[in-house]
């Protein structure tokens, strides 16, 4: 019984670790995307595209 | 259900490749370097007009209506930093003692922000002011470098050096009296060559006492040298940067070329991954932690099943962000800078302890389930094998 419990705990720890890491990496990408937009990326793109067409 | 899956995967693949191509083009348009815009942001309220001396090699701007203590010109130079190209504007003044730099401004860069902040704090830029335009501007010679940001410091010096020397010859007709750009080759480069040689020897698969000993030594040596000493570990940004043409100069940054060259040599000529578990310092950290605890927990089934797809998705997201921004640091989620140089931004600080903690319970936790570099190299090896097999079949 105790051995089974130990195995379940192990799975739980690895589950928590895996999911938390995936969530943090996803948050990193969301944060980077926000940074990209706040850096004026869209504005720069429109301006440069406009000047290219002209 | 199986039919939907078999139709869905090729569509996802096509979408991934098309979106990467679109991000590359959009980023290319968006990130065009316009010196006029950059100078307006760096010198607000000052009207800088392109000098008649401005040509394809010299980017020189006249400082209109200079008052006392104002510079006469601003010259712009560019060089490859660690993350990509950086642009430096140097204010130039003509005095009784000759043509001199007045101050220097880094007006655009793609470096990891903490490295630039470190240079600003150490007053690196201040030392570059009040120098003659004929000075050498060589790091560790007439410019002081700072450990931990050497590549950025060297790139800034190179950008100034290149621009002010062109100005000295083209505008003022001065004779070049400065020292020619030397090769950066010292103990660091010799150390990297030694590590690479050990890696190649080990890869020969010969069973010998010495080789077994080298197998034990190599991870520790990589951890100390590639990780903590040179902080040269590779990230997803290093590979995405290649597509953007961010290649550091061979003369200024040979360590990068030795490391990257070895990896590509391994893929193309040997069909092997020479980086993971050999030259990668973070793999050594993971192994070390796992050997300390000795724990070997099972990972969830879904992680084993979808692990590869998960890393591929993360690589895709990284590449999209890097292509759009032209800024490798923006898509680099690996915690290597934090681990080896104690430099990082935002959420990366939380990813580091988690990946270390994970390695205590699950062997190679980061390497197996989250590392983009390992997958990129392994997939390249697979691709090379496939291409070779196809070629052999065609010959037969």
Q: Both tokens of residue B139?
A: 């790091």
Share of chain A above pLDDT 90, in %: 44
For residue B115, pLDDT beyond 60: yes
A10: confidence class by pLDDT, cuts 50, 70, 90: low
Task: Count CB atoms within 10 A of the CB of residue A13.
Answer: 17
Contact between chains at B347 and A17 (C-beta distance less than 8 A)? no
Q: Both tokens of residue B295?
A: 């724990």
Burial class from Cβ neighbours inside 10 Å (0-12, 13-18, 19+) for residue B331 reads: buried
Higher pLDDT, B33 or B188: B188
Cα nearest neighbour of B358 on chain A: A17
Q: What angle do CA B41, B77, B168 make, to 5 degrees?
A: 120
Query: What pLDDT was estimated at residue B68?
Result: 72
Cα nearest neighbour of B302 on chain A: A15
Burial class from Cβ neighbours inside 10 Å (0-12, 13-18, 19+) for residue B182 reads: exposed
Contact between chains at A41 and B333 (C-beta distance less than 8 A)? no
Residue B315 CA to its chain's centroid (Å): 16
Query: What pLDDT was estimated at residue B166?
Result: 92
Residue A13 CA to its chain's centroid (Å): 21
Query: What pLDDT was estimated at residue B35?
Result: 86
Q: Which of B30, B310, B347 sits opposite A44 (nearest CB)?
A: B30
Query: What pLDDT was estimated at residue B164?
Result: 93
Average of per-residue pLDDT values in chain A: 82
Chain B interface includes A30 (CB < 8 A): no
**Residues in B touching A35 (Cβ below 8 Å):** 330
Query: What pLDDT was estimated at residue B273?
Result: 95
Query: What pLDDT was estimated at residue B383?
Result: 96
Query: What pLDDT was estimated at residue A21?
Result: 95
Query: What pLDDT was estimated at residue B264?
Result: 96
For residue A1, pLDDT beyond 50: no
**Residues in A touching B29 (Cβ below 8 Å):** 45, 48-49, 52
Query: What pLDDT was estimated at residue B1?
Result: 60
The whole-angstrom separation of Cα B288 and Cα B293 is 9
For residue A8, pLDDT beyond 60: no
Closest Cα in chain B, distance from residue A43 (Å): 9
Closest Cα in chain A, distance from residue B291 (Å): 17
Tens of pLDDT, residue by residue over B356-369, are 999 999 999 999 99
For residue B338, pLDDT beyond 60: yes
B70, B71, B90, B144 from B124: Cα distances, Å: 21, 20, 14, 7
Contact between chains at A41 and B30 (C-beta distance less than 8 A)? yes
- The closest of B30, B20, B387 to B240, measured between CA atoms, is B20
Query: What pLDDT was estimated at residue B17?
Result: 96
Query: What pLDDT was estimated at residue B299?
Result: 87
Least confident of B33-42, B167-176, B315-324: B33-42
Mean pLDDT, residues B213-223: 93
**Torsion angle defined by CA atoms of residues B149, B151, B153 and B156, in that order, rounded to the nearest 10 degrees:** -140
**Residues in B touching A4 (Cβ below 8 Å):** none
Q: Which of A13, A20, A52 sits opposite B361 (nearest CB)?
A: A13
**Residues in A touching B30 (Cβ below 8 Å):** 41, 44-45, 48
The whole-angstrom separation of Cα B80 and Cα B325 is 16
**Residues in B touching A14 (Cβ below 8 Å):** 297-300, 303, 358, 361-362
Instruction: Give residues with Cβ within 8 angstroms of B362, minimum separation 6.
Output: A14, A17, B290, B295, B296, B297, B299, B368
Contacting A with CB below 8 Å, chain B residues are: 26, 29-32, 34, 297-300, 303, 310, 314, 317-318, 321, 324-325, 330-331, 333, 346-348, 350-351, 354-355, 357-358, 361-362, 365, 369-370
Closest Cα in chain B, distance from residue A3 (Å): 13
Closest Cα in chain A, distance from residue B210 (Å): 37
Query: What pLDDT was estimated at residue B315?
Result: 97
Tens of pLDDT, residue by residue over B146-177, are 777 888 999 999 999 999 999 999 988 999 99
């Amino acid at each position: 019984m105790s051995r089974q419990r130990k195995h379940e705990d192990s799975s739980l720890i690895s589950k928590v670790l895996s999911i938390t890491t995936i969530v943090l990496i996803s948050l990193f990408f969301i944060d980077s995307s926000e940074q990209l937009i706040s850096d004026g990326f869209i504005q720069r793109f429109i301006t440069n595209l406009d000047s290219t067409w002209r | 259900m199986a039919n939907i899956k078999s139709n869905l995967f090729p569509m996802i693949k096509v979408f991934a490749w098309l979106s990467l191509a679109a991000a590359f083009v959009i980023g290319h348009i968006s990130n065009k370097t316009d010196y006029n815009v950059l100078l307006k942001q760096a010198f607000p309220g000052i009207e800088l007009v392109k000098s008649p001396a401005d040509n394809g090699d010299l980017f020189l701007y006249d400082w209109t209506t200079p008052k006392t203590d104002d510079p006469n010109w601003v010259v712009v130079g560019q060089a490859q930093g660690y993350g990509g190209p950086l642009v430096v504007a140097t204010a130039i003044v003509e005095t009784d003692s000759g043509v001199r730099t007045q101050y220097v401004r880094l007006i655009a860069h793609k470096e990891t922000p903490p490295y630039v902040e470190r240079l600003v704090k150490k007053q690196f830029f201040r030392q570059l002011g009040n120098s003659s335009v004929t000075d050498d501007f060589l790091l560790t010679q007439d410019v002081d470098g700072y450990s931990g940001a050497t590549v950025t410091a060297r790139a800034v010096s190179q950008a100034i050096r290149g621009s002010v020397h062109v100005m000295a010859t083209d505008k003022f007709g001065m004779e070049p009296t400065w020292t020619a750009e030397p090769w950066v080759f010292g103990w660091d480069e010799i150390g990297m060559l030694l590590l690479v040689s050990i890696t190649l020897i080990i890869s020969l698969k010969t069973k010998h006492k010495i080789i077994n000993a080298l197998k034990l030594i190599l991870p520790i040596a990589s951890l100390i040298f590639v990780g903590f000493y040179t902080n040269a570990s590779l990230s997803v940004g290093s590979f995405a940067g290649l597509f953007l043409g961010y290649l550091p100069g061979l003369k200024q940054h040979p360590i990068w070329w030795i490391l990257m060259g070895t990896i590509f040599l391994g893929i193309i000529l040997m069909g092997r991954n020479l980086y993971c578990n050999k030259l990668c310092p973070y793999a050594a950290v993971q192994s070390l932690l796992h050997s300390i605890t000795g724990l070997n927990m099972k990972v969830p089934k879904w992680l084993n099943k979808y692990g590869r797809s998960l890393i591929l998705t993360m690589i895709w997201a990284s590449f999209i962000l890097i292509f759009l921004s032209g800024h490798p640091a923006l898509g680099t989620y690996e915690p290597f800078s934090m681990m080896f140089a104690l430099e990082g931004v935002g959420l990366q600080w939380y990813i580091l302890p988690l990946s270390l903690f994970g390695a205590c319970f699950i062997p190679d936790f980061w390497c197996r389930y989250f590392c983009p570099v390992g997958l990129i190299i392994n997939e390249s090896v697979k691709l090379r094998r496939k291409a070779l097999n196809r070629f052999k079949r065609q010959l037969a």
